[in-house]
Structure 1
Amino acid sequence: MQLFLMRHGEAGYQAHSDRERTLTDTGRYHTSVMSNWLGKSVVEFDLVLVSPYLRAQQSWQEVSKHFPEPRKWLTLDELVPSGDPSTAAALTVAYAEQFKADKVLVIAHMPLLGYMVSELVAGIEPPLFATSGVTLIDKHCEPASLIWQHAPHSIS
């Protein structure tokens, strides 16, 4: 399976709580740029897992404009910034297996995403994710491997 881990787009700070922060215009634009770029190599996602936080949900709304409807998409309470990376990684793999998904997109937050990479790929230090940044992990073979990591500024 191919796991595409994506950080939400840039969000503003004018909100009652961290959970309610919304994407900025720049965040929407960068998410769209990354979605266009991803669309050149990925035709569709079989499974999409998204954080319940508003900025992640809005990022998924932007991404979904560039891809067909996935076979399944879920909001997971475990995909929050303070989530447990071991649990989040295990759930991601379990849902992918349950739904027989080969291409899986996860939209979540830092620091969780960085730690998930370390959980999924042996010997990798947690990488930083730029907003709207995407990392591809290939789990077709064991051990899994980190194939690439890109941010909006690295593809334009």
Structure 2
Amino acid sequence: MQLFLMRHGEASFDAPSDRERMLTHNGRYQTGQMAGLLSNHISQLDLVLVSPYLRAQQTWQVVSKHLPKARKCVVLDDITPAGDPRRAADVILAYAEQYKADTVLVITHMPIVGFLVSELVAGVEPPIFATSAFVQIDKHMEVASLVGMNYPLAG
């Protein structure tokens, strides 16, 4: 299975709550830039798991325009910023198994996205994700390896 973990795009702090923060213009631009790069790695998309927070939903809206149509998309409360990384990793893998997904995209937040990497890949410290950054994990059976991390260009 190819698993892609992506942090949402840059979001404004001008919102009634953390859950309602919207992408900035730069956030949309960088997300589009990264979605173009992501499209080079994804020829089919079996499963997308997205946080219910507005900025993650908007990130998916931008990314989805650059990728093949997802076979299944699920909004997942377990991958919000304060989610438990062990539980989130277990839920992600359970959904992947349920839908027999070979290619999975998860759009989530810091700090959980970094902790997810260390939960899924043994011996890897939690990386810090820039907004719109993504990591690719190759997971076969019980073995997972970090393929690479991609960051948006400064601009």
What is the CA-CA distance between 1:67 and the residue it aligns to? 1.6
State the Cα RMSD in Å. Answer: 1.3
Amino acid paired to 1:12: S
What is the CA-CA distance between 1:44 and the residue it aligns to? 2.6
Give me the whole-angstrom Cα distance separating, in 2, the residues matched to 1:152 and 1:44: 23
Which residue of structure 1 lines up, in the alignment, with residue 143 of structure 2?
Answer: 143
Range with greater deviation from structure 2 (60-69 or 103-112): 60-69
Q: Deviation per CA, 1:60-100, whole angstroms, max 9, x where unpaired?
A: 00001112221100000111000000011001010001000
The gaps in structure 2 that reach 5 residues or longer are: none
What is the CA-CA distance between 1:141 and the residue it aligns to? 4.7
Structure 1 moving runs of 4+ over 4 Å: none
Q: Deviation per CA, 1:23-49, whole angstroms, max 9, x where unpaired?
A: 001000111001111112312311000
Which residue of structure 2 lines up, in the alignment, with residue 54 of structure 1?
Answer: 54
TM-score (norm 1): 0.96
Which residue of structure 2 lines up, in the alignment, with residue 7 of structure 1?
Answer: 7
Which residue of structure 1 lines up, in the alignment, with residue 84 of structure 2?
Answer: 84
Give me the whole-angstrom Cα distance separating, in 1, the residues matched to 2:90 and 2:49: 13
The gaps in structure 1 that reach 5 residues or longer are: none
TM-score (norm 2): 0.96
- Residue pairs, 1:93-108, within 5 angstroms: 93-108=93-108
Kindly tell me the number of residue pairs found equivalent between the two proteins: 155
Amino acid paired to 1:137: I
- Residue pairs, 1:112-127, within 5 angstroms: 112-127=112-127
Percentage identity across paired residues of the two chains: 61
